[in-house]
Amino acid sequence: MSSILSMPVIADKALLNPNSDDGCWDILFMICRGTGITPMLQLIEYHLEKLNDKQNNTQLFLLFSNETELDIILEPDERLKQKKVEDLEELENRSNGKLKITRILSNKLDKLGDLSHDVIFSWLSKNYTPNNNGEIISIPSSITHGHTSYSSSSSILKKELPIQEQQQIIYEPTKYVETLSCDPVALRVFVCGPSLMMSAVNEAFSKMMFPEEKIITID
């Protein structure tokens, strides 16, 4: 992973794009679980505020894993949990399509399998097609998980893939990642959550050979 930061304060610009006047990333992917949602909310709020100041093509994508809706936030106070869930939904509603949220409901007996290599790649490739000097990589418009189609906006993923979809996905990550490595767009993936979840995501990115400089983990 490219860097490990303490819990951020956006005012310190620790997580912002140093090569942009407004600090915004062109494409911002966020993967989180539990209290890992907190820095992601800060990033989302910052980028949406800047989007109100000018028109640009910034796109925000959030993927978070939880067992139930209220397990998204590990607050001791149930009212605080509910408020943060409502805040997230409100941000999506006022983003004018700039923020797309994907929810994964995990199996309590297998809390890490929901963030597998296949699931993360499907989410990335569904939402962004890398461009290398005009060469566009074609990614299928729909990748099926079990009997449920993957949708990028407020969706729930099923982690079991049919045999034919498993075979289809074997080659695509390599081609996708190779092109992404040369993509000039300012793209970053932020990851934050419990240690086991972070390890699972790091392993998935390593298997994918995802460019390390495009990943920022928040400890």
Distance from C-alpha of 32 to C-alpha of 202, rounded to nearest angstrom: 12
User: Is 38 within any annotated ligand binding site?
Assistant: yes
Look at residue 39 and give its three-state secondary structure. Answer: helix
Share of the chain above pLDDT 90, in %: 30
- What CATH number is attached to the domain comprising 207? 3.40.50.80
At residue 167, φ and ψ (nearest 5 deg) are: -65, -40
Model pTM? 0.74
Domain, as residue range, for 203: 3-218
Decide if pLDDT at 12 tops 80: no
Write the single-letter amino acid at 11.
A
**Helical ranges in the chain per DSSP H:** 37-53, 78-93, 117-127, 163-169, 172-181, 195-208
Q: Round to the nearest angstrom and report the end-to-end CA distance of the chain.
A: 12
Q: Give the tens place of pLDDT for each residue, 91-130.
A: 888 888 899 999 887 655 445 557 888 899 999 999 998 8
Write the single-letter amino acid at 70.
L
Q: 8 pLDDT band (50/70/90 cuts)?
A: very low
- Total domains present in the chain: 1
